[in-house]
Amino acid sequence: MKLLMISFVIAVLISSLLILISTLFSKKTILDREKASPFECGFDPKNTSRIPFSIRFFLIAIVFLIFDIEISILLPLGLISNSIPPMIWIMTGGSFLLLVTIGLYYEWKESTLDWIT
């Protein structure tokens, strides 16, 4: 435990020292406006470089990630079915599926998944 703590402290000190040295000897300045501005053929940029992003795509991606993680949690239940009584892992998997289904129902009722409106 003591060796692990010493190794951790040494790693933090070395990384902090490297960050400090790189910021001290860096030739870039924070207030250099010319370097920070985007270059567009020598002219000022016509508009912002950020494209508007629909929140609906973000919400669909979040729902996809939730169900993707759900599958990765439920798949190992088949592998441990020999070591745990079937009723326990069926109840565990069923309660997890019920929880995710209730969340999907809530998203549906809040019109998060509607594309028409």
DSSP string for 18-71: HHHHHHHS----TT-HHHHSPPBTTBPPSS-SPPP--HHHHHHHHHHHHHHHHH
CA nearest to 78, candidates 91, 89, 67, 63: 89
Q: What pLDDT digit, counting tens, does each position of 76-92 carry? A: 877 777 788 888 888 88
pLDDT (0 to 100) of residue 10: 95
User: Rounded distance, CA 77 to CA 74, Å?
Assistant: 6
CA nearest to 63, candidates 15, 29, 105, 21: 105
Number of H helices, E strands in the chain: 5, 0
Inter-residue contact 28 to 35 (CB < 8 Å):
yes
Specify the pTM. Answer: 0.47
Residues of the chain with pLDDT under 50: none
Query: Three-class SS of residue 110?
Result: coil
